[in-house]
Amino acid sequence: MSKFVQISPEGEFYSNGNKIDDTDFCSSLIKSLRLEKNVCMAYLKGDPITVESKSHPLVVQSVEHSNNQSLLLRYNYGFTEEFELTSSSKLFIDDWMRLCGRSKNDVPFVFSSHAQAFFLTKIVEPLSADAFMFKGEEIELDEWYKSEPSVEKESFWSNRYKESHTPWDLSTHHPSIDWVVPRLKLSKSKVLVAGSGKGHDAAKFKSLGHEVTGVDFSLDAVNEAKRLYPDVHFECEDIFTRNLDSKFDVVFEHTLFCAISPAKRGQLIKSWLRQLRDDACLIGVFNVSSKQDGPPFGLTEWELEQLLSPYFIINFWGRLRDKESPRSGKELFIQAQKRKGF
Ligand SMILES: C[S@@+](CC[C@H](N)C(=O)[O-])C[C@H]1O[C@@H](n2cnc3c(N)ncnc32)[C@H](O)[C@@H]1O
């Protein structure tokens, strides 16, 4: 048994791409789910297993009103939990209008479409898209990701660099550039590294023979990148408004997507599209976690697929597994080709 299991968007356990048929085993796994440092873990006789869930790990398959303010949530494999629904106990709504919340062990759950329809028509009385009445009380739904407007300001990031408070900085390039990028056999390309920080990733692409532009809107980051890597081209610009003088063959994403407001993720993808020539590609390391506030803000694979698939054909999609890395269990590597017409 590997030390990793996967959970499909329907809430079923898989191991190495194969559905796990042993329901007793799955039943004990699902009961053991808990969150550690925003990574979902399961336990087998005390041994930890990293759970790579595509969407939220728990899927509410059905819901009933149990008593007073309580709901009974039924997940997969016969696992049930009471959930007290009051104006202070939270349910959330995501960008796809899915109801979400957290279990007693803090594990995120999402309602199946069937459970959500039943809940909204038979258990509560909807008042608007984000509020309903339940047992005479008005309950408001919060957005899944908390907004944090300060991250949209250049000063937020520049202050972090000034204070040397840059926990995201690896002091070197992301190791995936060593492992995966050579296998992609990129011919000499024009590479855009967006949110390039101190410039380590941009410098690595340059050392591999590519023509690189690093873009960051923090002058402190750009000055430091220029000092560390004087032969690499860095620009101090906002990626959302950057003027286009030329188009790129590749955009490399690493820790910008999780740094911006989640509400602006669609705009970031549009900015990549504007800066990529036809047939160009996105190479990215995405931080997947259950974190609702940020930065870094969490992300599920399901959400990323919904956002990217209209515009990109996915060629490679896989979790990076490096037990030595503090980011183990949280990183997803993808390579995708821009669809024609965007
Ligand atoms: C978490 S840091 C990651 C830096 C770098 N990718 C790394 O891994 O070391 C996010 C970076 O994105 C930059 N950034 C945030 N919003 C931006 C925007 N709208 N345009 C350009 N850069 C931005 C910040 O200044 C910061 O350097």
The answer to whether residues 241 and 213 touch, using CB atoms and an 8 Å cutoff, is no
Residue 184 scores a pLDDT above 50: yes
**Could you give the 3-state DSSP secondary structure of residue 21?**
coil
**Atom of ligand 1 lying closest to residue 158 CA:** 25
Please name the residues in contact with 266: beta carbons below 8 A apart, sequence gap of 6 or more. 307
How many residues in total does the chain contain? 342
The answer to whether residues 276 and 284 touch, using CB atoms and an 8 Å cutoff, is no
Res. 323 pLDDT band, cuts 50 70 90: low
The reported pLDDT for the residue numbered 46 is: 86
Alpha helices (runs of H) in 188-342, residue ranges in sequence order: 200-207, 219-228, 265-275, 301-308
Q: Could you tell me the residue ranges of all domains in the chain?
A: 1-143, 149-338
Q: pLDDT for 134-152, tens place per residue?
A: 998 999 999 999 999 999 9
Pocket test for ligand 1, best of 168, 256, 285, 291 (most atoms within 8 A of CB): 256
Mean pLDDT of 34-39: 90
Tell me how crowded residue 184 is: count the other CB atoms within 10 A of its CB: 13
**Atom of ligand 1 lying closest to residue 161 CA:** 27
Q: pLDDT for 12-32, tens place per residue?
A: 999 988 999 999 999 999 999
CATH 3.40.50.150 assigned to domain 149-338? The reply is yes
Q: pLDDT for 190-247, tens place per residue?
A: 999 999 999 999 999 999 999 999 999 999 999 999 999 999 999 999 999 987 777 9
Residue 324 scores a pLDDT above 80: no
How far from chain centre, in Å, is Cα 152? 18
**Could you give the 3-state DSSP secondary structure of residue 192?**
strand
Both tokens assigned to 154: 């250049």
**In which element (H, E) is residue 116 found?**
helix 113-118
Strands of the sheet with 125-128, listed across from one edge: 125-128, 131-134, 137-140
The reported pLDDT for the residue numbered 1 is: 46
Q: pLDDT for 77-121, tens place per residue?
A: 999 999 999 877 789 999 999 999 999 999 999 999 999 999 999
| Ligand 1 environment, Cβ below 6 A | 157, 168-169, 195-198, 215-218, 221, 238-240, 254-256, 259-260
